[in-house]
Structure 1
Amino acid sequence: MTEQEPPKLLLVDDEPGLREAVEAYLEDEGFIVEVASNAQQGWELMQQETPMLVITDIMMPEVNGYQFLEQLRSDPRFKSLPVIFLTAKGMTADRIKGYETGCDAYLSKPFDPDELVAIVKNLLSRRETSHEGDSEDHSELSAISQQIAEIKTLLGQQGQSKTTPSPIKIDLTPREQSILNLVAEGLMNKEIARRLDTSVRNVEKYVSRLFSKTGTNSRTELVRFALQHGLTE
């Protein structure tokens, strides 16, 4: 088993002394650090290889940190990339502007390097957890989609794809019907919430109602029941 490569970070700061000190400290902590003296150079480095996290100053010539972050967030490749602001601009209004622009953390100079390392590790850990969750969701979605396809095939082979509705009438609200249709497509709660512009918790509530109304206990059981009784569009 190969050893995992250390996380690669990008540090953008126009102060040579601070840039070198932060680079050395982060490398001592086991990170690989690319450095840039301005936003343009930082952007060019990111075209060659995407770092796992960006640390940038705000007060820089030509393109400042706020503008650099806006440029990153406008690019789909870097929209969710963790970004830390290191800056002498420590007023509350500056912090608010930083967070509104899309930074993940804000450290005012002078700062404790140990705090910077803790923030970096925390953001990288959260990013890794998020990616693992997306991977798990994708795997579960694929499994459910496959099961649904098998159910539809089986019902089609049995000539039941257009069976008459169940004699037990099930009254579904328009929202319940919409969610049932999307469940039958194989979508997970997160995708359904995104499609219907609502919260995941709301979707979970409606899926639970559908389980209750149909007497089923899982998504595949729900889809099988819905297809057998003509409940989906």
Structure 2
Amino acid sequence: MTGHLLLVDDEPGLREAVQAYLEDSGFTVDVASNAKAGWELLQQRIPDLVISDIMMPEVDGYQFLAQLREDPRFMRLPIVFLTARGMTKDRIEGYNAGVDAYLSKPFDPDELVAIVTNLLTRKEAKDANATTDIADLANQVAEIRAILMNRAPLPTQNTPTVKIDFTPREQSVLDLVAVGLMNKEIARRLETSVRNVEKYVSRLFSKTGTNSRTELVRFALENGLTQ
């Protein structure tokens, strides 16, 4: 496992030792002596994971974590706390603040490497799934648009060839899906939540016996269910 890490710790000896061990384990490591310097490094290059001390001057680890989680660029960035505060309540505070792992000093460097490797593996899996989901959506949008571009006039376009009882809101959602809009855009048009739109789309799948937006649009067009 390789990856780019950011290590933030105000103890020079510990910082240098951890950096050396992580680099010997195959990672690239940027280091900062405080949260402010760490934040500046983040603006230059976004790492795959951040390792931070809690007890630091001016800006402590919890404040640094909150700053990271408030920024959309770093909301899903894995973060590991290194700290001498090993009380259960401190761990709970860290997890509630959004930290991914919590390691008390003194610690076994092999354990840190194992934690970092595990978090990076999970991150890679999530990123791969997200990429697949985005690609699937893009393909469905492309297929829907292709259907619309090649759509021939239907002789009974105003008279549905099948009878399905859609609610007014379901019909509105169907009409917007048919013109290639995705859930966020539909929610904005109908002034509702994305979650509600997802429910309506799910009902449309159920009522039409389809399993994807592409199938739904094709079914609706072929049966004169939308304009």
Q: Is the 8 A contact 1:161 1:227 kept in 2?
A: no
For 1:53, the aligned partner's letter is: L
The corresponding residue for 2:204 is 210
Shift of the alpha carbon at 1:33? 0.9
Which aligned pairs between 1:1-233 and structure 2 lie closer than 5 A?
6-155=2-151, 158-160=152-154, 163-173=157-167, 176-177=170-171, 180=174, 183-184=177-178, 185=180, 187=182, 196-198=193-195, 203=198, 209-216=203-210, 218-232=212-226
- Determine the C-alpha separation between the residues in 1 that align with 2:172 and 2:97: 35
Q: Is the 8 A contact 1:164 1:229 kept in 2?
A: no
Shift of the alpha carbon at 1:186? 5.6
Residue identity over aligned pairs, in percent, reads: 63
Could you report, residue by residue, the CA deviation over 1:128-171 in whole angstroms, capped at 9, with x for unpaired residues?
1111112212221121111101111222xx22398124243212
- Determine the C-alpha separation between the residues in 2 that align with 1:41 and 1:121: 25
Q: In 2 relative to 1, CA 179–84 (structure 1 residues): closer, same or farther, beyond 3 Å? A: farther
Q: Is the 8 A contact 1:161 1:228 kept in 2?
A: no
For 2:157, the aligned partner's letter is: T
Shift of the alpha carbon at 1:93? 2.0
Q: In 2 relative to 1, CA 42–215 (structure 1 residues): closer, same or farther, beyond 3 Å? A: closer
Q: In 2 relative to 1, CA 87–192 (structure 1 residues): closer, same or farther, beyond 3 Å? A: farther
Q: In 2 relative to 1, CA 161–228 (structure 1 residues): closer, same or farther, beyond 3 Å? A: farther
- Determine the C-alpha separation between the residues in 2 that align with 1:12 and 1:100: 20
Could you report, residue by residue, the CA deviation over 1:47-102 in whole angstroms, capped at 9, with x for unpaired residues?
22111110000000111000111111122221211111111112222122212222
- Determine the C-alpha separation between the residues in 2 that align with 1:144 and 1:100: 38
- Determine the C-alpha separation between the residues in 2 that align with 1:125 and 1:211: 35
Q: Is the 8 A contact 1:144 1:186 kept in 2?
A: no
Unaligned runs of 5+ in 2: none
Unaligned runs of 5+ in 1: none
SS at structure 1 position matched to 2:146:
helix
Shift of the alpha carbon at 1:46? 1.4
Structural RMSD (CA): 3.1
Q: Is the 8 A contact 1:216 1:222 kept in 2?
A: yes
Q: In 2 relative to 1, CA 41–218 (structure 1 residues): closer, same or farther, beyond 3 Å? A: closer
Provide the TM-score with structure 2 as the length reference.
Answer: 0.83
Provide the TM-score with structure 1 as the length reference.
Answer: 0.81
Q: In 2 relative to 1, CA 110–183 (structure 1 residues): closer, same or farther, beyond 3 Å? A: farther
SS at structure 1 position matched to 2:195:
coil
For 1:224, the aligned partner's letter is: R
